[in-house]
Amino acid sequence: MKKPKVLILCTGNSCRSHMAEGILRAAAGDLFEVFSAGSKPKGAVHPLALEALAEIGIDASHHTSDHLDQYLDAGITTVITVCGNADQACPTFPGMLNRYHWGFEDPPHAVREGESELDAFRRIRDQIKLVFEAYAAGFREAQTD
């Protein structure tokens, strides 16, 4: 049986979407094919996103910053937006069955007083991890029912 294809969208495809992609792939790569893209990709993955993922054992060094258009005909069944701008810019994908919006702060712009930029990435990574691992667990549980 073919695995459903999940596309995670963010505007720049440099931070949140890559953290979500790496986390979902680690939690449920046996259940889903996972991709990420952006409506206005920055062209590179933020080094602190890579570092924050590496700290939890996820290697995303091979990730690329892609435009969402390259996935329009890829058989995407679920689209998950992780920022408000991407939610508004998200087109309808042919064959898309599910669409979710789970917004997270943009780590480079979310630094709180007394927090380093890496700390902001870690905080948001942990929020993304909670949501996407719960999604994976729920999907896995539904498959066994």
Indicate the helix (H) or strand (E) that contains 14.
Answer: none
Of the candidates 7, 28, 90, 136, the residue annotated as catalytic is 90
Of the candidates 28, 83, 86, 128, the residue annotated as catalytic is 83
Tell me, yes or no, if 90 is annotated catalytic: yes
Of the candidates 6, 10, 68, 120, the residue annotated as catalytic is 10
Residue the block writes with tokens 């993955």: 45
Tell me, yes or no, if 10 is annotated catalytic: yes
For β-strands 5-10 and 98-101, DSSP reports them as: unpaired
Distance (Å, rounded) from C-alpha 111 to C-alpha 115? Answer: 6
Query: Residue 81, CB half-sphere, CA atoms under 13 Å: how many?
Result: 17
Distance (Å, rounded) from C-alpha 38 to C-alpha 91? Answer: 12
Tell me, yes or no, if 15 is annotated catalytic: no
Residues classed as catalytic: 10, 83, 90
